[in-house]
Amino acid sequence: MIKPIGSDELQPRYVYDPVEHEKLSKEAESLPSVVISSQAAGNAVMMGGGYFNPLKGYMNVADAMGAAEKMILTDGSFFPVPILCLLESTDAIGDAKRIALRDPNVEGNPVLAIMDVENIEEVTDEQMNTMTEKVYRTTDMDHPGVAAFNNQGRFAVSGPIQVLNFSYFIDEFPDTFRTAVEIRNEIAERGWKKIVAFQTRNPMHLAHEELCHMAMDRLGCDGLVIHMLLGKLKPGDIPAPVRDAAIRKMVELYFPPNSVMVAGYGFDMLYAGPREAVLHAYFRQNMGATHFIIGRDHAGVGDYYGAFDAQTIFHDEVPKGALDIEIFEADHTAWSKKLNKVVMMREAPDHEKDDFVLLSGTKVREMLGRGEAPPKEFSRPEVAKILIEYYQSIN
């Protein structure tokens, strides 16, 4: 199996030993504590599950700046984005060297992790602007990722963490949330050798389904992991339980047995386009995938990124040898009226735009809201049925 990044075995920050876990949980109640941001909580969950291996905790400012500017930390290791715990105030911490981090996304703010405080630094406006510009390629506060990153506070608290729970993800998504450790174990149990991962924050239409089939066929993969984001999205995105139901129905009906794993991870979407694509590849290698599909405008939002920036970054900016996972570079896929099948648009040079079945997201949502299924060339009827029920429930 492909090795994780930076170590021979995954080093998840979750405390699995029950005796140690209970001891730390008791200790946490007596420690100074702070409620962290949703983004920082997502980072803790990802470190807890081994996805951010070999990170042991939140970065200090020097490492965060290195990640932003060159994707290289001060010790020379590779990481594509800053992983920070930013606070508006450190009054509750004082001079404590060990603190409890509380979950902002669960009622009662239970303890999510314990941190050994190594540094408390105030991030300057110049440093925040540099990190924002490098990671998001814009400082426009209308960009949802830029706004979320910049609205957390300016005090960076750094140090290693011990994670005590996985926030709301296990309770709300018990059949879907999986750690990188669990996915690696399941890949081994299934006997898969070559595994392609597909990222989604949306239900999968026919074009997405066919893209996964194409990638599996062309790469000779024996397994596909459909890995969906379960964390916070932007308004208007379809809730995870609905996506989950639609994807599972598609897999059940249109993929061979033992060829697909449907799983999810707990993280707030950054909408950082190219940089987020690299982060996606990073933690897919850690979960055991050998290949990762990156298509048009991967992890983008609005018009902030070029259609294929999330592919070219791997050639132009990612340090050579930083990743072992291979990228399957895909174009937009759509139903060809000429060929009577789904194709990658770049592989049909004799086609005009009208030769494809193309529907905007807005048009599809309007149809579903009226109880109309999109054409079969766009969406499987069984998937459309689940989405129609959802849209009619909110209208």
The string of pLDDT tens digits covering residues 244-282 is: 999 999 999 999 999 999 999 999 999 999 999 999 999
Which residue spans of the chain are classified as CATH 3.10.400.10?
A: 18-167
* pLDDT the model gives residue 113: 98
Which residues, in sequence order, are CB contacts of 40 under 8 Å at separation 6+?
58, 84, 85, 86, 101, 152
In the residue annotation, 201 being an active-site residue is answered as yes
Which candidate in 119, 154, 190, 202 is catalytic?
202
* pLDDT the model gives residue 234: 67
Q: What CATH fold (topology level) applies to the domain 18-167?
A: Sulfate adenylyltransferase (3.10.400)
In the residue annotation, 190 being an active-site residue is answered as no
Average pLDDT of the chain to the nearest whole number: 95
Which candidate in 98, 190, 201, 248 is catalytic?
201
Enumerate the H helices of 79-164 as residue ranges. 125-136, 144-150
CA distance 330 to 317: 19
Query: Which residue numbers in the chain have pLDDT < 70?
Result: 233-234
CA 319 vs. chain centroid, Å, equals 21
CA distance 65 to 226: 32
The CATH architecture that domain 176-265+271-394 belongs to is 3-Layer(aba) Sandwich (3.40)
**Which position has the token pair 């926030």?**
167
CA 67 vs. chain centroid, Å, equals 17
Which residues, in sequence order, are CB contacts of 78 under 8 Å at separation 6+?
5, 6, 71, 72, 282, 319, 322, 323
Which residue spans of the chain are classified as CATH 3.40.50.620?
A: 176-265+271-394
Tokens of 146: 């830029």
Q: Which helix (DSSP H) or strand (DSSP E) does residue 254 occupy? A: helix 240-254
Q: What b/e string do you get for 220-239 counting C-beta neighbours within 10 Å, with b at 16 or more?
A: ebbbbbbbbbbbbbeeeebe
In this prediction the pTM is: 0.95
* pLDDT the model gives residue 227: 97
* pLDDT the model gives residue 394: 85
Residue 229's nearest CA partner among 208, 201, 210 is 201
